[in-house]
Structure 1
Amino acid sequence: MQAPNPDSLFPVAGVTLGVAEAGVRKANRKDLVVMSLVEGSTVAGVFTKNRYCAAPVQVCREHLAASSAMRAIVVNTGNANAGTGADGLARARRTCDALAAQMGLSAAQILPFSTGVIMETLPVERIEAGLPAALADLAPAHWAKAAEGIMTTDTLPKAASRQVTIGGQTVTVTGISKGAGMIRPNMATMLGFVATDAAIAPELVQPLVKRAADASFNRITIDGDTSTNDSFVLIATHQAGNAPITALDSAEGAALQEAIVAVARELAQAIVRDGEGATKFISITIEGGRTEDECCQAAYAIAHSPLVKTAFFASDPNLGRILAAVGYAGIDDLDQTLIEMHLDDVHVVTQGGRNPSYREEDGQRVMKQAEISVRVNLGRGAARATVWTCDLSHDYVSINADYRS
C-alpha cells in the first residue's frame, strides 16, 4: 500500500480544503482540516451505531436533522471528544461557532468531526487558534493534504477519485478516509468524506450514502470494536452541469452510484490494508446462504475470530478454525454436511469434511500470500456476501498498548 498521488485526486467543483497544525494532541503534525462547500450543496451521512457516541456525532446528527444545506466541515484528530459529557457537547458546538464566525455562516451550517483518544477534554481553544491557518490554506486540490490531516494511528493517508460521464458531462467523485484500529462496521473508528459535483435531487443523497456505506465501510472489520465516532459523509455540490439525477435506478443514477461505491470501497479496503499491525488482506465470501444477512453473520464470525486471524498471521493452515466460526455464527438450522470451502484456488472442504485431495502444503502456500480469499458455500440458497478483514499480529497489541504514550 502506498500513499495516494495528489495528482491522481480530481478536484470537486464547489469543494475547497484547508489543513493546519493546531497542536490538538501533538505538536508539528497536521491535525485540523476544514472543508468549505459551495452554497447549495447537499450533505448526508451515516454514523456509528455505538450508543456511547461522541459529542461531534451528536451535533452532526442534530444539524443534519434540521437541514442538509451544510456549508463547511471541520475535523480534528488527536482527540475524539467522546465520553466527555455535557462539556464535550459544549466544546463541539463551540468549534462550530468559531468556524461559523470566521466564515460568515451560522453554526447550524457546520458539521464537526473528531477522532483520537476517548474520554479526554477537547482542547477547543487550540482548534479555534488553528482555524485561521486552515481557512487560509483552502484550495480545491488539497485532498491529499486533508487525507493526511485526519490520520490517527494510520500509517498512510487514504484517498481515492473517479470520473464518469453522465448526460454528456464529466462528473467527479473524490474522497478521503481514516482508520486503522477499532474498526467494525456499523461504522468503525473511521471517518470518510466523499464529494461529487454531480447534480442530483437532494432527497436522493441520503439513500445514496446509505447504499455506498453498506457496500463498503459496512463490510470491513479489523478487530470487531465499534467506535464512538464513526462517520461517513457524502457531499453533492451540483456543479457538474449534468441534468439533475432524479432516480437512483435510472441509467444516470446507476452510473453515479457505481462511481461513489467504487471510491468508498477503495477507501474502505485501504483502511483494512492499513489495519494496525496488519500483514495480510483477506476477503471472506459466504455463498449459498438463504439471506444476505446470514451470509454476513458467517463472514463476520470468521473475520472476528482471534484464532482465525492469528492463524493467517502465522501462515498456519489450521483451517478447522474457520469451520468452527461458521458453526457458531448463529445459523441455527445450518447443515454442516452441505458446507464447501475454498482457500483461493484450493478446495479444502467438501460435504462438510476435509476434501480427500486437499494437501496442507497447498493451504500453507495460500496462507503465505499477502492477499488471500476465503470462500465458504453454505449450501442453503443463492444469497452471498463479502467482508474484508486482515490478520492479527504482535504489532496490533503493541500499537494499542502504547497508543496514548
Structure 2
Amino acid sequence: MSSKPTETATSPLAPRSFPEMPGVEGVLLAAGACGLKKNDKSDLMFVELAKETTVAGVFTQSLTASAPVQWSRKALKGGQARGLVVNSAGANVFTGPQGMEAVEGTVEAAADQLSCRPSKIFVASTGVIGEPLAFEKIVSALPGLNSDFSPLAWKGSAEAIMTTDTFPKGASRKADIGGVDVMINGIAKGSGMIHPNMATMLAFVFTDAALPASVLQTLLAESVETSFNAITIDSDTSTSDTVLLFATGSCQNHRPFTNAEDAGLDDFKDKLSQVMTDLAHQVVRDGEGASKFITVSIGGA
C-alpha cells in the first residue's frame, strides 16, 4: 500500500527550473487546494478543453485498475473530451462501490460546470490507496476553479498533482505540420513504482493540432512505448497509470489527416516523442531516493 506523502528534499537530479510553457489554444487550466491535502496545499487540477477536442489514452495493465481509470477507459470510446479533473492525496483504489460513486459525483459536477455530457469528462487520481475519496471536497472546489481558468497555469497544475514528487514536471515543444506551427505541452507526476509500464505515473499532454481520435491514439501508443514504457525505478506497477493526449483542433490551418503514418505528421511525431521522453526522464530523475540517472542504449540486437 502506498505510504502517505511526506516532505522531502528536492531530488539532486531535478531540472534547474520549470520550463517556460506558452498557452495551447483551446486549453484552460486551474489548480488549487480542495482540502484533500493538509495545510491548504494544492491538490486539485481542473482543465477545460475546446468543444471539438479529441482524445487518446493509455492506461495501467493492472487487473485491479482504479475507479478513475475504469471511467476514463469507458469515456475514451467516445473519442472526445471537454474536461479533465485530477486530484492528488487519494488514489481512489480498492474503494469498492464508493470509488465509482466518487468518480460519478466528480464528473457530473465537472460536466455541470462546463455544460457538457459527463461522458466527455476524464478523471485521474493519485495518492494513498484503500481510503475512500472525499469527492465532496472536489465538487465544492470546482466552481472556484472554473472562475480561475488560465491558459498559462501549467506549473500550478503540475504542482497540484504531485504526491511524493519533489518537483513539478513539464515539457513543451513547437511542431510543424505542413508549414503550420502547433504547440505540444505536457505535465506529469510519478516518483515511485515506475515499472512495468508507466507505474504510479500520470501524464497529460495537450496540442492545438486538429487530429482525429484514431490518429491520435496511434501516435500516443507509439510514443508511450519509447518513453514511459521504457523507464524503471523499482520494478513495481500501479493501479492508476494514465497517459492522456488531447488535441483541441483550435489550429485548423493545416490539412486534415486520416492516417498516422502520413509523412506530413513526421515533425509532430518527433516533437510529441520529445515531450513524452522529456517527461519520462523527469519522472526517473525524481525517483524516491534516486541519485543517478542511467540510460541504456542497445545496438545491433
Whether 2:61 is the aligned partner of 1:49: answer: yes
- Contact 2:190–2:200, Cα closer than 8 Å, also in 1: yes
1:99-151 superposed Cα distances (whole Å, 9 cap, x missing partner): 11122112111111100000000001111111122212211111111111110
- Contact 1:247–1:253, Cα closer than 8 Å, also in 2: no
1:74-153 equivalences under 5 Å are 74-153=85-164
Larger radius of gyration: 1
Whether 2:292 is the aligned partner of 1:280: answer: yes
What's the CA shift for 1:4? 4.2
Whether 2:34 is the aligned partner of 1:34: answer: no
The residue type equivalent to 1:2 in the other structure is: P
**Could you state the TM-score of these two structures normalised by the residue count of structure 1?**
0.69
In 2, Cα distance between the equivalents of 1:276 and 1:134?
A: 31
What residue is the counterpart of 2:10 in the other structure? none
- Contact 2:88–2:160, Cα closer than 8 Å, also in 1: yes
In 2, Cα distance between the equivalents of 1:202 and 1:99?
A: 22
What's the CA shift for 1:231? 0.2
1:6-405 equivalences under 5 Å are 8-65=20-77, 67-240=78-251, 241-287=253-299, 382-383=300-301
- Contact 2:49–2:248, Cα closer than 8 Å, also in 1: yes
Taking a change above 3 Å as real, the CA distance of residues 92 and 201 of structure 1, as seen in their structure-2 partners, is: closer
- Contact 1:12–1:174, Cα closer than 8 Å, also in 2: yes
Percent sequence identity is 43
What residue is the counterpart of 1:393 in the other structure? none
**Can you give the 5+ residue segments of structure 1 that lack an aligned partner in the other structure?**
288-381, 384-405
Taking a change above 3 Å as real, the CA distance of residues 88 and 201 of structure 1, as seen in their structure-2 partners, is: closer
What's the CA shift for 1:3? 5.9
What's the CA shift for 1:186? 2.1
In 1, Cα distance between the equivalents of 2:249 and 2:16?
A: 29
- Contact 1:182–1:227, Cα closer than 8 Å, also in 2: yes
In 1, Cα distance between the equivalents of 2:31 and 2:268?
A: 28
In 1, Cα distance between the equivalents of 2:270 and 2:190?
A: 23
SS in 2 for 1:62: helix
1:161-194 superposed Cα distances (whole Å, 9 cap, x missing partner): 0002222211110000000002113221010001
- Contact 2:56–2:213, Cα closer than 8 Å, also in 1: no
In 1, Cα distance between the equivalents of 2:100 and 2:38?
A: 23
**Relative contact order, higher structure (CA 8 A, sep 6+):** 2
**Can you give the 5+ residue segments of structure 2 that lack an aligned partner in the other structure?**
1-13
Query: C-alpha root-mean-square deviation of aligned residues, in Å?
Result: 1.3
SS in 2 for 1:79: coil
**Could you state the TM-score of these two structures normalised by the residue count of structure 2?**
0.92
- Contact 1:159–1:177, Cα closer than 8 Å, also in 2: yes
The residue type equivalent to 2:15 in the other structure is: Q
SS in 1 for 2:297: strand
After TM superposition, where is structure 1 displaced by more than 6 Å over at least 4 residues in a row?
none
In 2, Cα distance between the equivalents of 1:58 and 1:164?
A: 32
What's the CA shift for 1:221? 0.9
Q: State the number of aligned residues.
A: 287
SS in 2 for 1:281: coil
In 2, Cα distance between the equivalents of 1:52 and 1:202?
A: 26
